[in-house]
Amino acid sequence: MDGRCLRFYLVVAVLVVGFVEPVQQVRAQGTTASLTGDQAVYRDGKVNIPLTDEYQVGALFHTQGIGITLRRGYYLNAFVIRNVGLDLTYFKHPKEIQTTNPVYENGRPYVFGKLNTLQILRLWFGKQNLHAEKLRRDAVRFSTFWKGGVALGVLKPIYLEIGYPDIPYDYTATERYDPDAHFSDNIYGRADWSNGLDELTLVPGLHATYGLDFEYGDERFMPKSLTTGVSIDAFLVEPEVFAAKFEQNNRLFVTLFATFEVGRNWTR
């Protein structure tokens, strides 16, 4: 191959490369242009579809105990959600101190003077206002919410294992705690929690909550959220958790809380 042929082929190669590269760039630009901003972020092309419904379930932690929460949401528009739901929470009296029988180490610990355990069932409705929408996978949607409704205090009596006749005991019997008859020298320990389930007492009241919601899930239709705020439960009469001669009972419960929730949302 002489020098002229070699120069010819080099020129052709340069022209081909110079033509192909711009064409590939144009194609790439065309492909990118066909993606919307939402598609480029979520890759599903569905982020711009208005949502209509959602539900979430989660664990609730508050300054006097723990619980579970469930809620169902209905989008009134792009920025407002109407919620209905329920919470079931266990409340621990701030003066509870567990003790055990000093002679019988196998006895279950119990709280001296405590008559009943307190659970609160809340049935509520509320509204959530969205202030900052999540526009990227790693972003956070911020909203505020309030809710209010009915609170039912559920009291379950405490049962203990009582030793007879005196230390050392000949036998034990399961009895409902009586502060006038049961003392530290004849209480062997706490009985099974199932005792007293057929003797529940309901105390009616009202509930209100205000809080902040941070939705951080990577999937648009499978949200994860952290909420925090303050809750108030007020009852018509004082739920009798402790015997009156041991501790004062309250009608008003003000607690700080945080919940971790997961759920699902969709468009009808």
The pTM score is 0.80
Report d(CA 112, CA 101) in Å as an integer: 11
- Nearest-angstrom CA–CA distance, 103 and 100: 9
**Above pLDDT 90, what percent of the chain?**
70
Residues 63-92: pLDDT tens digits? 999 999 999 999 999 899 999 999 999 999
Q: What is the pLDDT of residues 5-53, one digit of tens each?
A: 455 545 445 444 444 444 444 344 444 444 444 444 444 444 556 789 9
φ/ψ (deg, to 5) at 69:
-140, 145
pLDDT of residue 132: 86
Say what the alpha-carbon torsion angle 248, 250, 255, 261 is, to the nearest 10 degrees.
Answer: 110
Q: Which two tokens stand for residue 151?
A: 């609170």
